Amino acid sequence: MSERTTVPITTLLADVRACRHCAEHLPHEPRPVLQLHPSARILIAAQAPGRKVHESGVPFDDASGDRLRDWLGVTRAQFHDPTCFAILPMGFCYPGQARSGDRPPRPECAPRWRAPLLQALTQLQLTLVIGRYALAHHLPDESDGLTAAVRQGQRHQPALMPLPHPSPTNNRWLARNRWFEQDLVPRLRARVADILRHS
Ligand code: SF4
């Protein structure tokens, strides 16, 4: 996809929104859900849209989003301002339901789209790496699992910070790891507020 690096961002986004690359594997018509502007300061590298987000077409328009916005200490308006937050899940289309929870992000999506989209984000100061699929892509050398990665906090420059998925299906993890909301979330809020203040 290197030929896409010179494509204007509006054309690239139009190409993504028209994508049917893995349509045969989806249980519905493709509906890529993402948010991107080259001025974005914070990237949310997430998993894949759920059913409610698939229906609305608005990223994190669900209970996961409510919890994530609370962790970040931002309003809906701030969260959906693409000059503040870019939102790129590992799979842009809802992958459908599994026996328990949703299916994983389609594996075709990141190799096809991620590199040129990330290349457009030249102002990033923080990447929030949410869940194990984004962790495997953005921090491939992390071998001790998601909990250890989250506990370690921010690393690298520009900064990457692994987070657990904010889904209600993750309530048990949050109950077992109370240090996350007690210690790490206040630091995350302070970091986000600092970045947005200077945007
Ligand atoms: S999941 Fe990604 S690759 Fe598959 S149709 Fe949607 S945008 Fe295209």
114-156 pLDDT per residue, tens = 999 999 999 999 999 999 999 999 999 888 899 999 998 888 8
In angstroms, the CA 138 to CA 141 distance is 9
C-alpha to C-alpha distances, 7 to 17, 91, 130, 141, nearest whole angstrom: 15, 21, 28, 31
What b/e readout covers 35-51, taking b as 16+ CB neighbours within 10 angstroms?
bbbeebbbbbbbbbbbe
| Ligand 1 pocket, mutate which of 20, 25, 53, 54 (most atoms under 8 A from CB) | 20
Q: What is the identity of the amino acid at 89? A: P
As a whole number, the mean pLDDT across the chain is 93
Rounded to whole angstroms, the Cα distance separating 42 from 128 reads 8
In this predicted structure, the answer to whether residue 3 has a pLDDT above a threshold of 80 is no
CA–centroid distance, 32 to ligand 1, in Å, is: 6
How many beta carbons lie within 10 A of that of residue 14, not counting itself? 12
Is the CB of residue 109 below 6 angstroms from any atom belonging to ligand 1? Answer: yes
Helix locations, 18-108, DSSP H:
51-56, 63-72, 76-79
The two three-digit tokens of residue 69, written as one number: 């916005």
Among 195, 184, 185, which residue's Cα sits nearest to residue 68? 185
Ligand 1 center from residue 190 Cα (angstroms): 34
Ligand 1 centroid, distance to 143 Cα (angstroms):
28
pLDDT in the model for residue 192: 97
Q: Is the pLDDT of residue 5 over 80?
A: no
At 99, is the pLDDT very low, low, confident or very high (cuts 50, 70, 90)?
A: confident
Nearest CA to ligand 1 atom 6: 93
From the CA of 22, give the closest atom in ligand 1: 4
Tell the CATH topology of 37-197: Uracil-DNA Glycosylase, subunit E (3.40.470)
23 lines ligand 1 (CB under 6 A): yes
Residue 98 has pLDDT above 80, yes or no: yes
Residue 4 has pLDDT above 50, yes or no: no
Q: In sequence order, what E strands does the chain have?
A: 42-46, 85-89, 126-130, 159-163
**Beta-bridge partner residues of 160:** 127, 155
Q: Calculate how far, in angstroms, residue 179's C-alpha sits from the geometric centre of ligand 1.
A: 36
Residue range 72-80: mean pLDDT, rounded: 98
Average pLDDT over residues 150-179: 91
The mean pLDDT of 162-181, rounded to a whole number, is 96
The Cα 106–Cα 194 span in angstroms is 34
